[in-house]
């Protein structure tokens, strides 16, 4: 029994081998190539130059324009993650607790937006937020505005669009976590005199914390790497890291600097995701213990 | 002598029969000098459909054409990755002229053998390259809303007119060509990049709106958000066809062409078949079909467009003379700096 449950069981390692090789070939190898590219001198007319240099990283960290792009990417992603959590938790809670025969229908409705590509959803937001769009037409018709308000190509548009994209992922993750919780503990807390707020924050949330942490980290990573929504809804009003690095490769043919931006994005995402996961786990580990 | 006369009569008879033979006759002339499979990397949608409809019949059955639909970046990456490889997955790559030049500069294109692409003889001289065949082209023109702009602008400098403040639209992707157009509008050449940036600073004072895509620009023109822009003539024709009240003007200082080109990837193992495919792309019938369907001008002088179509999509001799050749080498070397200027200075606050 001890042998089969060993972390280094040969059978387990063998089973993991095909997937590991695939990950190595399609993720790790290209990432290493990008890393090597980011350490090369950028020169027009050639993708790879001889010699190693940190000039691309130095250029990024010494230029306030690029630092602002990283800062904007972080705050927009954090805000979208918080919004998705605030909006998504009640939905996930409802789906986990409901005994309605329409539960499957609700889940299908939730998954439905995932069947439509990000570009199509962004196009929908463009119709809603454009100068001649639904919101501006309503504002003008109701006499609340004389001229169309600038809603499209703003941070607001990106936040709305990105939150819409990631919301189903978070709800589905939270729902599966909440489904696994025995809700009688919440009822027990209420029986012992806790109000709904206390029962939620002192009992339910600490139990759900690991799942919440996993869901929020997943969503935060998706936000940090968002491309289509920031391009189509942010326009020139907000530039995020993924569009900026893509521009360096496609518009400026500067693979070296584009690769450096890619690695800075990976590093920042990883560091923030790990930090937030550690913080949530630490915070609720203490609550659980108490 | 007798033999020559007989040969002449035979050739004359063949030529006289050609119109009657129609497409079959044209096919016979365009028949490829190789056989096998050729992989053509292209954009999807109408472009690929038109290639299938108009090029394939000219090269089949000798060539089996496989279309690899994807982004220009994907094609460039394949060309780069496969230039020294033992196997290749791409033979003919279709790219914009500036991207194709980049591939040429990186050694990722095969030199064209004119003997294998005889239709190159009909290509407009200003569009000829040693590394690619020009397929279709358009040029940057001034487009304006006829409901709002009473006096047609005559050149790109007209965008600095204060009466147009806040009503000018530009596309983010065209940062490099707008810099070049600004240099021309300021009396310089396409090499005067700083003059172009000076023009952009002046344009910024007129509060232009920057759109992420040409489609965004079309939407803004439609809604009346903007009244005037600089864009490709082919796009303006498409919008006009769709009912937008637009007119366009060929800038008096000259216009920058945009050519969509075909090149054989350096790593291709079917170079001769790739050349044969490129030759078919320059066939007069195929050139006419693309002009009719896409609104782009033919790159050959023998396309034989009907007068009405020529007037709509083509360029007059005077306009062809005023097409300004882009210095792709200079552009490639300065792209990063131009993009930085555009992002950090021009776009900020617009």
Weakly modelled stretches of chain A, pLDDT under 50: 1-4
ipTM of the complex: 0.74
| B343 closest CB neighbour out of A47, A65, A132 | A65
Least confident of B29-38, B178-187, B281-290: B29-38
Three-state SS for chain A is CCCCCCCCCHHHHHHHHHHHHHHHHHHHHHHHHHHHHHCCCCECCECCCCCCCCHHHHHHHCCHHHHHHHHHHHHHHHHHHHHHHHHHHHHHHHHHHCCCCCHHHHHHHHHHHHHCCHHHHHHHHHHHHCCCCHHHHHHHHCCCCCCCCCCCCCHHHHHHHHHHHHHHHHHHHHHHHHHCCCCHHHHHHHHCCCCHHHHHHHHHHHHHHHHHHHHHHHHHHHHHCCCHHHHHHHCCCCCCHHHHHHHHHHCCCCHHHHHHHHHHHHHHHHHHHHHHHHHHHHHHHHHHHC
CA–CA dist B191, B284 (Å, integer): 34
> What was the pLDDT predicted at B10?
47
- pLDDT on residue B198: 97
- Report yes or no on A135 lying in a domain: yes
What class is the B2-137+258-311 domain?
alpha beta
pLDDT in tens, A105-127: 998 988 888 888 888 899 899 88
Domain that holds residue A249: 56-289
Give the nearest chain A residue to B212 (CA atoms).
A235
Between chains, do A132 and B223 touch, taking CB under 8 Å as contact? Answer: yes
Q: Is A180 within the bounds of a domain? A: yes
CATH number for the B138-257+325-346 domain, one of 3.30.70.2740, 3.60.15.10, 3.30.1300.10, 3.40.190.10? 3.40.190.10
Identify the burial level of B120 via C-beta atoms within 10 angstroms of its C-beta, where 0-12 means exposed, 13-18 middle and 19 or more buried.
Answer: buried
Residues of A in contact with B223 (CB under 8 A): 130-132
Record: contact A251-B347, CB cut-off 8 A = no
Strand partners, B230: B142
pLDDT > 90? residue B200: yes
Nearest to B336 by CA among A1, A259, A254, A91: A254
CA torsion sign, A276 to A280 to A282 to A283? positive
Read off the pLDDT of each residue in B106-129 and give the average, rounded to a whole number. 94
Rounded CA-CA distance A205/A60 in Å is: 40
pLDDT, averaged across chain B: 89
Which CA distances in Å does A172 have to A92, A102, A109, A216, A279? 7, 16, 12, 12, 23
CA distance B11 to B32: 20
Looking at the domain assignment, is residue A179 inside a domain?
Answer: yes
| pTM (two decimals) | 0.80
Convert the pLDDT of each residue in A48-106 to its tens digit: 566 789 999 999 999 999 999 999 999 999 999 999 999 999 999 999 988 888 988 99
Q: Based on the structure, what is the number of domains in chain A? A: 1
Q: Supply the CATH number for residue A233's domain.
A: 1.10.3720.10
CB contact under 8 A, A231 and B223: no
Range(s) within chain B of domains with CATH label 3.40.190.10: 2-137+258-311, 138-257+325-346
């Amino acid at each position: 029994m001890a042998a089969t449950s060993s972390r280094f069981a040969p059978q387990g390692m063998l089973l993991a081998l095909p997937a590991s090789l695939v990950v190595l070939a399609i993720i790790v190898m290209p990432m290493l190539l990008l890393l090597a590219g980011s350490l090369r001198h950028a020169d027009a007319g050639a993708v790879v130059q001889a010699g190693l240099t940190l000039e691309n990283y130095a250029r990024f960290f010494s230029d306030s324009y690029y630092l602002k792009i990283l800062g904007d990417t972080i705050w927009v992603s954090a805000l979208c993650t918080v919004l998705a959590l605030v909006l998504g938790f009640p939905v996930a809670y409802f789906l986990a607790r409901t005994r309605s025969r329409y539960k499957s229908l609700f889940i299908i409705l939730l998954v439905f937006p995932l069947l439509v590509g990000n570009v199509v959803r962004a196009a929908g937001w463009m119709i809603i937020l454009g100068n001649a769009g639904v919101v501006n037409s309503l504002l003008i018709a109701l006499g609340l505005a004389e001229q169309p308000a600038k809603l499209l190509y703003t941070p607001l548009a990106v936040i709305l669009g990105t939150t819409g994209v990631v919301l189903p992922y978070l709800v589905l993750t939270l729902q599966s976590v909440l489904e696994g919780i025995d809700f009688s503990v919440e009822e027990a807390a209420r029986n012992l005199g806790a109000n709904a707020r206390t029962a939620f924050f002192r009992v339910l949330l600490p139990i759900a914390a690991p799942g919440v942490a996993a869901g929020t980290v997943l969503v935060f990573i998706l936000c940090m790497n968002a491309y289509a929504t920031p391009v189509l809804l942010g326009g020139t009003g907000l530039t995020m890291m993924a569009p900026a690095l893509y521009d360096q490769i496609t518009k400026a043919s500067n693979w070296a600097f584009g690769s450096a931006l890619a690695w800075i994005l990976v590093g920042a995402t990883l560091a923030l995701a790990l930090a937030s996961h550690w913080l949530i786990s630490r915070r609720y580990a203490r609550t659980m213990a108490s | 002598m007798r033999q020559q006369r007989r040969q002449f009569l035979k050739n004359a008879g063949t030529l006289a029969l050609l119109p009657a033979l129609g497409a079959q006759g044209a096919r016979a002339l365009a028949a490829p000098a190789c056989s096998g499979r050729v992989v053509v990397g292209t954009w999807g949608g109408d472009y690929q459909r038109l290639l299938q409809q108009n090029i394939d019949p000219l090269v089949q059955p000798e060539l089996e054409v496989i279309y690899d639909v994807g982004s220009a970046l994907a094609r460039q990456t394949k060309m780069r990755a496969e230039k020294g490889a033992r196997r290749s997955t791409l033979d003919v790559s279709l790219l914009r002229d500036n991207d194709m030049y980049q591939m040429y500069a990186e050694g990722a294109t095969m030199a064209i053998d004119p003997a294998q692409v005889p239709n190159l003889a009909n290509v407009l001289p200003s569009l000829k390259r040693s590394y690619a065949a020009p397929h279709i082209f358009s040029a940057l023109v001034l487009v304006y809303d006829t409901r709002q702009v009473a006096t047609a602008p005559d050149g790109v400098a007209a965008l600095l007119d204060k009466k147009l403040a806040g009503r000018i639209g530009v596309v983010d992707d065209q940062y490099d060509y707008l810099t070049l157009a600004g240099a021309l509008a300021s009396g310089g050449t396409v090499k005067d990049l700083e003059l172009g940036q000076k023009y952009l600073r002046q344009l910024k004072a007129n509060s232009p709106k920057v759109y992420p895509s040409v489609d965004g620009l079309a939407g803004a023109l439609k809604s009346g958000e903007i009244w005037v822009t600089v864009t490709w003539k082919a796009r303006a024709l498409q919008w006009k066809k769709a009912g937008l009240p637009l007119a366009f003007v060929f800038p008096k200082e000259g216009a920058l062409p945009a050519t969509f080109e075909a090149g054989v990837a350096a790593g291709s193992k079917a170079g001769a078949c790739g050349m044969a495919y490129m030759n078919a792309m320059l066939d007069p019938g195929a050139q006419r079909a693309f002009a009719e369907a896409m609104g782009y001008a033919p790159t050959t002088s023998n396309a034989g467009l009907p007068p009405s179509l020529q007037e709509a999509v083509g360029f007059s001799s005077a306009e062809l003379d005023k097409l300004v050749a882009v210095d792709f080498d200079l552009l490639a070397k300065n792209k990063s700096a131009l993009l930085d200027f555009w992002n950090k200075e021009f776009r900020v606050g617009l």
